[in-house]
Amino acid sequence: MSSPPPTRSLHASALALSLCLLLSAAGLHGGSPASIENLRPAPAGTNTGPAAAGNGAQSKIENPAAPHGAALIPSGTYLPLNRSPKDLEKIPVAAFWLAELPVTNAQFLDFVRAHPKWQRSNVSRLFADSSYLTHWAGDLELGPSAPPAAPVVRVSWFAARAYAAALGQRLPTTAEWEHAAAAGYTSADGKNDAQLNRDLYAWLARPTPDVAPDVATAKANFYGVRGLHGLVWEWVDDFNTALVTGESRGDSGLERDLFCGSGSVGAKDTSDYAAFMRSALRSSLRANNTTSSLGFRCAADNRPTTPYL
């Protein structure tokens, strides 16, 4: 197995690939640096989209089958950022439950206590690289770099999946995560939410902090989900379907400039810089990778309940 990527902030590594994809998608690959100005988000004060009903907060749906601390995300569609002519233009997304908050250090500590094979000193390198939970003070001790209420980071896809499975849940798919994250603060369509765009791009411009903030500090979106933007990057279940396959990334005979140009040839919205960042990140990951800015949250199917007769 080749060495995992460095565990510094993912902003820099994702930035390089996403800029490459953005430039090629906009027909600017190889152009002057000034051309990047065309790709910046719309300025504050633009149309904020359809008005939200009431105070903008969606009413919670009481359901005895709802996972604890989860919001019901209604059905909808996801428009893939990159697709081939053979792929669907729109992917239907069934209603599902999504955790309102990412998993915290305290919650993950409870998990590794109950499942010792996932403790830092016990985990197999097949399932987590050498940076797994290195910001914790010990196997069962968080320490000052891992506040209990901060999102857990430096966890692999394998570990995140195991945590979700222990709760009878799973990781969200790319389509589900993107569908939920497309909401603004006051509307299900956040594309023209000026405040959301300001917060999102301000977060992307900042370096990863040494200590992550409390998950409760994140703003809730229209569905009541917090921190999809602005806390940490998050694992999705099918992260390795992004852009290209592992085999093609490992092919030393590939012409990298051609890959960059073709990687976004099917891009539908070349102005969505944040989506390119997420896509670039996902395509760069391996399942055992851990980094200082990558966490996760759980999801669950919306199973209909059988009424009592």
The predicted structure's pLDDT at residue 244: 45
pLDDT string in tens for the chain (309-residue length): 444 444 444 444 444 444 444 433 333 333 333 322 222 333 333 333 333 333 344 444 445 567 889 999 999 988 877 666 666 778 899 999 999 999 999 999 999 999 999 999 999 999 999 999 999 999 999 999 999 999 999 999 999 999 999 999 999 999 999 999 999 999 898 888 888 888 888 887 888 888 999 999 999 999 999 999 989 999 999 998 755 433 444 444 333 333 343 344 444 555 566 777 888 888 889 999 999 999 999 999 998 655 544
What SS3 state is found at 294?
A: strand
The predicted structure's pLDDT at residue 306: 52
Spatial distance between the Cα atoms of 114 and 127, rounded to a whole number of angstroms: 18
CA dihedral 67, 69, 72, 73 (to 10 degrees): -120
The predicted structure's pLDDT at residue 18: 46
The residue with tokens 């891009």 is 267
The predicted structure's pLDDT at residue 166: 97
The predicted structure's pLDDT at residue 180: 95
Q: Which two tokens stand for residue 16?
A: 């390089």
Complete domains list, the chain, with CATH = 10-27+62-301 (3.90.1580)
Q: Which two tokens stand for residue 40?
A: 């910046």
Spatial distance between the Cα atoms of 155 and 129, rounded to a whole number of angstroms: 9
List Cβ neighbours of 131 (8 Å cut-off, separation of 6 or more).
Answer: 4, 7, 154, 290, 291, 292
Q: What is the DSSP track for 73-119?
A: EPPEEE--SS--TTS-SSEEE--EEEESSPPBHHHHHHHHHH-GGGS
List Cβ neighbours of 182 (8 Å cut-off, separation of 6 or more).
Answer: 78, 188, 189, 190, 191
The predicted structure's pLDDT at residue 240: 84
Q: What is the DSSP track for 178-205?
A: HHHHT--SSSS--TT-HHHHHHHHHHHH
pTM over 0.85: no
